[in-house]
A and B are shown apart, each in its own frame.
Chain A
Amino acid sequence: MAKALYIDYQKCTGCRLCELVCAVKHDGISNPTRSRIKVMKWEAEGLYIPMSCQQCQDAPCLNVCPVKAISRDEELGRVVVDYDVCIGCRSCVAVCPFGAMNFNVIDKKVIKCDLCDGDPQCVRFCDVNALEFVSPDEISIGKKRDAAGRLSKAGREAGVLLAEL
């Protein structure tokens, strides 16, 4: 099974290094508007949420493309744009429910996360592991374990309360 980009926004410190290395890796240019990943921030609440392509199984961008320029690459688990076919109509930008399909106004083309061909630089540079590149089944197992821990803790606390009554 191809790995997936997993974002745990609770760990994100909001530094936006992912945006910088994404742009430099793909275009050799520092400019966050060229980044495929983007941290949305609510500074006044300390909330930072990295947004990137979910590489959907039934991808709206793929479905909407009038010239069939978008396809699934099962080997790397990603949705890719064929720029030889793309006409730049931006239908995919309009339809993406995550805002993860971008339009680069400088080069005038749509851009999206390509998982850096299997070595995502955003993951490599994210020291706090807010971004991880893992097998999709590992994601839910990890979350199950965390949730089970919380349930168990809540159960024990409830038990203590009952015992005190």
Chain B
Amino acid sequence: MPLKRKIAYIDLTTGDIEVKPIPIEVRKKFLGGRGLDAYLLYNHTKKGCDPIGPDNTLMVSGGILTATCASATARTHVMAKSPLTGLLGSANMGGFFAPEMAWAGFHHLVIKGKAKHPVYIYIHNGEIEIRDAEGIWGLPVTDAQWAIRDDLGDQEVKSMVCGPAGENLVAYANVMTGIKNSGGRSGMGCVMGSKNLKAVAARGTMDIKIAHPVEALEYNKRFIDQIISAKVNQTQGTLGTPFIWGATNSWGGIRCRNFQYNQCEYADDIEPERIDEICEETMGPYHMTGCFGCQVHCRAQYKITEGPYAGRYDEGPEYTSQGAFGGETDTPRANTVLVGNHLVDQYGMDNLETGSLIAWAMELYEKGILTKKDTDGLDLSFGNDEAVIEMIDRICYRKGFVGDTLAKGGIQASKVFGKDSFQYLIQVKGMSNLHSDERATPALALNIATGSRGSDHLRSRPAIDLYHLPQDVLRRIYSTPIPYDGPLSSEHTEYIGKPWQVFWQENCYMAVDCLGICKYHTTFLGATLPNFEDWPKVLYYNTGLDMTPEEIWMVARRCNMIERLFNLREGLTRNDLEKGDMLNHRYFDEPTRRGAPEVVGRVIEKDKFIKMIDEFYEHKGLDKDGNPKPETLKELDIENEPSHLV
């Protein structure tokens, strides 16, 4: 049974390993994946612990449905206190790792302490071993994974690794599995590096008995049909996430030259069709690959065709890499994006953070806050392709003043660079924003301002707000499973009703992250995809756990509140520019200059924005300062946290 998957507590300092079952009452309260990780983080880390010290605790998990007969349940979640933000660190990735860990007997790992020398953890059919990683330390992401397979003599082993960036304690180093699957944001690879933990490897052949296999199989087929009948997923399955690049850029939603423009002038060269054209000969007819058990197959495959990296194979580039190494730095050339994407994949660092910080440094260079003396002679001008590639290398290996400083993360770097460098940094809670520009979309601005791990599009973004869906369609989506009769607007430049949408999406995304399902299989980019009404059946057929849509909604709210409690404990205050639910002043002060007619000249209106936050807090059950009301904690049954149930 999926519910028999266990939790392991691994102390890297002492080498002690303790294995425990996950009690059913814990499953009912937190399900698994990100939600249970948040509970474990809140319970197993001390307030104010050093994110790169031995006291920080790293959670690795699969969702409750991982490795069952439910579509696209391949997600691995990692969580710890973030070295980048000092608040919640949390990242979610696809691939094949979490299912392998589940077949090896585990759904959750809690990794504490620090190993004396480089090690990796090997999980194999109920057993856990801490192995020497001296020969693997220093290797880039894919070489490390293949070296682990050779070390274990098993080519079926799946590993989750940190790259050289993690070893070098780059604050936004990520964890990676496979060629390109990244637990990208908030520096979880840095936490691994700080623990001398190069990898977690898994190989499992243990049964997971499906509670109602005939029904599970048939329902999975229905689910898949629903998912791949959505045009958005068919397009994803042909072009990958870059399919939204052209449209988003043309209406004016792409940050260019850090935050100076909201549109890239010449962006055709990095359109997915163009990249396909360049790489045509090196790929099969579909050019696409997918995660475990998923029929959307949204990852493109490519080979670099020119320059010093010619012949290197990789996957992507995703929409995020287009923005990070093309849009923000104003270098929209295919080869720059392909090489930039490849380097961050191999070094194991977050493409969003890397690209954003390079673009920020470029603006500081333009403004004279950074000079050629600081950059060791590198011309850090916008549009300089070589400078972008060179900076990725310098950050990973902490070379030169600017490279080493940017590796600390934006806020720390702004303290080193001084002057008014902080004013130009596009971040929330210390995490750089995606390359998207939210000045014309208040709902999306609210989402990045209040995201639990900082400025991010995958924690509460109501992306369908851009589709101008009819009111009744919006109402149908946003009134399940909890009735909502407040205002809703189909207009993406509006402020009314948006707090409810963001609140609803926050719970929707938390629910899929607990279940272990990919966001492309819910109300993210497609309005017709499954959500709360559909999940109870999948959960019941696969695990036997009987829950209503309302109960899953409550789990999501509870887990979001635990994340909030963690952030509050670590110093979140409402209006703090470094640790609060607040946007950089440029969103309020600098009007957009490009894009569609209704987009040009937009800023976020501060008074309306503050009202949105008030309303959002009310939906969440927080007071005006953003702290939970006692009755909210009681309603969510978490008034006694930390409760140490597991």
Contacts and interface: CB of A to CB of B under 8 A. Distances in A.
Given A30-B67, A30-B68, A127-B295, A24 B210 contact: yes
Given A25-B217, A44-B179, A30 B69 contact: yes
A44 B146 CA distance: 9
Nearest to B212: A28
A31 B205 contact: yes
Nearest to B217: A24
Contacts of B221: 124-125
A85 B569 CA distance: 66
B289 A128 contact: no
Interface string B134-153: 00000000100010000000
Interface in B268-295: 283-286, 288-295
Nearest to B68: A30
B289 A14 contact: yes
Interface stretch (A15-23, A53-61, A89-97, A156-164): A15-23
A29 B286 contact: no
A31 B206 contact: yes
Contacts of A44: 142, 146, 179, 313
Contact of B286 (A13, A28, A33, A106): A13
Contacts, number: 98
Contacts of A32: 103, 205
Which of B67, B207, B221, B285: most chain A CB closer than 10 A?
B207
B301 interface: yes
Contact of A128 (B179, B283, B286): B286
A11 interface: yes
Given A21-B220, A24-B213, A31-B206, A48 B289 contact: yes
A29 B293 contact: no
B131 interface: no
A11 B297 CA distance: 11
Which of A15, A25, A106, A121: most chain B CB closer than 10 A?
A15
Given A17-B294, A128-B297, A121 B217 contact: yes
Which of A25, A34, A44: most chain B CB closer than 10 A?
A44
A4 to B, nearest CB: 22
Contact of B313 (A10, A25, A46, A106): A46
Given A14-B290, A44-B313, A105 B295 contact: no
Nearest to A106: B207
Contacts of B209: 28-30
Nearest to A28: B213
Interface string B106-144: 000000000000000000000000000000000000100
Nearest to B209: A29
Contacts of A11: 284-286
Contacts of B220: 21, 125
A45 interface: yes
A65 to B, nearest CB: 26
B289 A29 contact: no
B289 A46 contact: yes
A15 B179 CA distance: 14
Contacts of B96: 16
Nearest to A20: B293
Contacts of B36: none
A43 interface: yes
A45 B289 CA distance: 12
Nearest to B301: A46
B324 interface: no
A17 B216 CA distance: 14
Nearest to A38: B156
Given A24-B217, A28-B209, A10 B285 contact: yes
Nearest to A8: B285
Contact of B293 (A16, A25, A121): A16
A164 B155 CA distance: 51
B208 interface: yes
A71 B620 CA distance: 65
A29 B290 contact: no
Contacts of B295: 15, 17, 125, 127-128
Given A15-B295, A17-B293, A21-B217, A46 B207 contact: no
Contacts of A25: 213, 217
Contacts of A48: 289
Interface of B: 67-69, 96, 103, 142, 146, 178-179, 205-210, 213-214, 216-217, 220-221, 224, 228, 283-286, 288-295, 297, 301, 313, 315
Ranked 9 nearest A-B pairs via Cβ: A28-B213, A13-B297, A15-B290, A30-B208, A33-B205, A127-B295, A46-B301, A17-B293, A24-B69
Given A21-B69, A125-B295, 12 more contacts: A11-B285, A15-B289, A15-B290, A16-B293, A25-B217, A28-B209, A30-B208, A32-B103, A43-B179, A44-B179, A46-B289, A121-B217
16 contacts: A13-B286, A15-B294, A16-B96, A21-B217, A25-B213, A28-B213, A31-B205, A43-B179, A44-B146, A46-B301, A46-B313, A46-B315, A125-B220, A127-B228, A127-B295, A128-B297
Interface of A: 10-11, 13-17, 20-21, 24-25, 28-34, 43-46, 48, 105-106, 121, 124-125, 127-128
